[in-house]
Chain A
């Protein structure tokens, strides 16, 4: 039992890495634009399928990664600057925009499903050898996923804290009208955020299918609840919070799976979310109430 619990810590960190990459992209975009973007899951799927195409064409692994990231970034940027901007200009509120993103999510999912002929595909990404450290067992690829998540976190933190773009982004997230008045190029900032968020969605889709080894049109939408949970638990807009929340969710789900049973793992994860929201309801509502304006 003790051995299983310790092993689950290692597994939890790998799962947390997957969730964290997606949650960072989601929370960054949500924090700035105030759009609860449900289509994020569909973009994850699109990124994963782009990588699958690269694999089917026997392109190098690095190109598959570029395919996934570029697809996610371009698709999200396109959606944000055209469709979401269109509805925002027409006065869509927060709830209406959620419905728009939900519609886009369904269109993406079923569009990809039709293009993929409703099939499930194998995703044969090299897993590398299994490494054993005491009770911990992890593959080289899983280790790489954790490293990628750490690198993404470091990169975003550096962007937000050390660059003019990051400062402008934080200013916009806090006070969009004041930021505009001060001459901050809001259009440019929003463009950058859509691109980063989309790139991370594509990367998350790829990371998910590397781990699960299969791909179908619903992978992104199935994974989205955990990503959303981490983003909300970590307080919308906070990448540090998203990473900590992802770590908590990853560890809780794997520990419950190891000690209680796999069937209860996801329930436990969302149980944590419910408890935190009950004790700290401002995590989501506070942000929306303080800054109800959509910035796309």
Chain B
């Protein structure tokens, strides 16, 4: 019995020490590097996220550290692998927070892990810049949750508006059945109905099958004028390759989840470069109007190009990467403004460094923002993705760009869908 009591005391002592060690995760330590945790799928079936995360993290950290870091401390990146699984993500986050005392902010979670990680991170008072588009976060009560990308329905609705603008009256959807590809589908469906376009066929594809010929044939029989799509690259290549073999290809409009080499390379191979250049467009999140933050972002991308997936041109002017990059800069500037890396302190400053206001100095780079704050000014950071105007629920999204993608060259903006137009669609 005595031995059992000693053992119980020893175990409880160890647990108490562990709890003490992990309790610092919400406050960040006061010396050493400032830790930012990137939550992404580095392995598993969503591992394509990793190259997107890299295209955000490395340029942003380069920009912040080159300017002197946060409050004189360099920023370190902690890559946390969700393994494409929400349960694995929770375990990984527990381990990350228990073994890193310098965590001050979170880049993520993604769609896969948000449901399990957001409540935990919020309770730890860790500001998080989520990359999950789920509508559940449109009006969330999580005070440490921030999102500078549109919710999934907004992208789908922008696509519907673009289709309407092109004069299409009959469209079809082709989406992968994996969770990462399904997010935009509800917005597309409601959007096309709202603008008066007929949705003549809906194909949901189980990824990585050897053939989708029957689905392709059924889609052709419905005679759509355009196809709205999101899936992984190999699935898209098989489907659209077979569609091309069976009949004539029609314009394809991709969601903001499609622009990446892992999507473009197989699709180009399947339908041919000429068809790809002629027919493929994507409606992407981000700022279609150039401002001084854009060249700063592109310069940072080029400075760290050795760490990014090739070709590096895919990341220049990449709207998704720009939004993520801006999220890091905003967190860093909020910490500078609050003079603290403690999440519970600097969280309210996130709104302060992004909102417009009289007398505020507009800045487009981290270095300029840091200098202005040091000089005692209040600032509004306008990023490579445009102005970041958080609402009461910490959501911000601006205009969306319609882009085409020449081979081995940066994307070209061919149209714009304003936030007002999307909001008008929702009444």
A residues bordering B, Cβ < 8 Å? Answer: 3-4, 7-8, 11, 14-15, 18-19, 118-124, 127, 130, 137, 139, 208, 211-214, 216, 218-219, 222-223, 226, 254-255, 257-258, 261-263, 265-266
Query: Could you say which residues of chain A place their CB within 8 Å of the CB of B214?
Result: 4, 7-8, 11, 254-255, 257-258, 262, 265
B234 partner, pick from A118, A127, A212, A257, beta carbons under 8 A: A212
A248 smallest CB distance to B (angstroms): 16
Nearest 5 CB-CB pairs, A to B? Answer: A122-B269, A258-B214, A214-B266, A257-B214, A262-B215
- Additional A-B contact list (16), CB under 8 Å, known A254-B213, A254-B214, A263-B177: A4-B214, A8-B217, A11-B217, A15-B211, A119-B261, A119-B265, A120-B234, A120-B262, A121-B265, A122-B266, A212-B211, A222-B208, A262-B203, A262-B209, A262-B215, A263-B204
Overall SS of chain B's interface = helix
Query: Could you say which residues of chain B place their CB within 8 Å of the CB of A8?
Result: 214, 217
**Known contacts A4-B218, A258-B218: A212-B237 contact under CB 8 Å:** yes
Q: Which residue of B lies closest to A267 (CB)?
A: B206
How would residues 209 to 251 of chain B score, 1 for a CB under 8 Å from any chain A CB and 0 otherwise?
1111111011001000000000001100110010001100000
Is B270's beta carbon under 8 Å from chain A? yes
Contact status A213-B217, CB under 8 Å: no
Query: Could you say which residues of chain A place their CB within 8 Å of the CB of B217?
Result: 4, 7-8, 11, 137, 258
Is B205's beta carbon under 8 Å from chain A? yes
**Known contacts A4-B218, A120-B234, A139-B245: A213-B206 contact under CB 8 Å:** no
Give how many B residues have a beta carbon under 8 Å from the other chain's beta carbons: 31
B238 partner, pick from A139, A211, A216, beta carbons under 8 A: A211
Report Cα–Cα, A101/B364, bound state, in Å. Answer: 56
Is B147's beta carbon under 8 Å from chain A? no
Q: Which residue of A lies closest to B211 (CB)?
A: A15
Contact status A213-B237, CB under 8 Å: yes
Q: Which residue of A lies closest to B177 (CB)?
A: A263
Report Cα–Cα, A254/B218, bound state, in Å. Answer: 11
B residues bordering A, Cβ < 8 Å? Answer: 47, 177, 203-206, 208-215, 217-218, 221, 233-234, 237-238, 241, 245-246, 261-262, 265-266, 268-270
Contact status A218-B208, CB under 8 Å: yes
Query: Could you say which residues of chain B place their CB within 8 Å of the CB of A255?
Result: 214
Contact status A214-B177, CB under 8 Å: no
Query: Could you say which residues of chain B place their CB within 8 Å of the CB of A4?
Result: 214, 217-218, 221
Query: Could you say which residues of chain B place their CB within 8 Å of the CB of A212?
Result: 210-211, 234, 237-238, 241
Query: Could you say which residues of chain B place their CB within 8 Å of the CB of A123?
Result: 269
A12 smallest CB distance to B (angstroms): 8
Report Cα–Cα, A14/B237, bound state, in Å. Answer: 18
Contact status A120-B205, CB under 8 Å: no
B210 partner, pick from A139, A223, A263, beta carbons under 8 A: A223
Contact status A263-B205, CB under 8 Å: yes
**Known contacts A120-B265, A122-B268, A130-B246: A211-B210 contact under CB 8 Å:** yes
Contact status A208-B210, CB under 8 Å: yes
Report Cα–Cα, A254/B47, bound state, in Å. Answer: 29
Q: Which residue of B lies closest to A3 (CB)?
A: B221
Query: Could you say which residues of chain B place their CB within 8 Å of the CB of A121?
Result: 265-266, 269
Report Cα–Cα, A208/B209, bound state, in Å. Answer: 10
A131 smallest CB distance to B (angstroms): 10
Q: Which residue of B lies closest to A12 (CB)?
A: B214
Report Cα–Cα, A14/B242, bound state, in Å. Answer: 12
Query: Could you say which residues of chain B place their CB within 8 Å of the CB of A265?
Result: 206, 209, 214
**Known contacts A121-B265, A262-B203, A263-B205: A213-B241 contact under CB 8 Å:** yes
**Known contacts A257-B212, A265-B209: A122-B204 contact under CB 8 Å:** no
Query: Could you say which residues of chain A place their CB within 8 Å of the CB of B204?
Result: 261-263
A183 smallest CB distance to B (angstroms): 43
Contact status B238-A214, CB under 8 Å: yes
Report Cα–Cα, A121/B237, bound state, in Å. Answer: 11
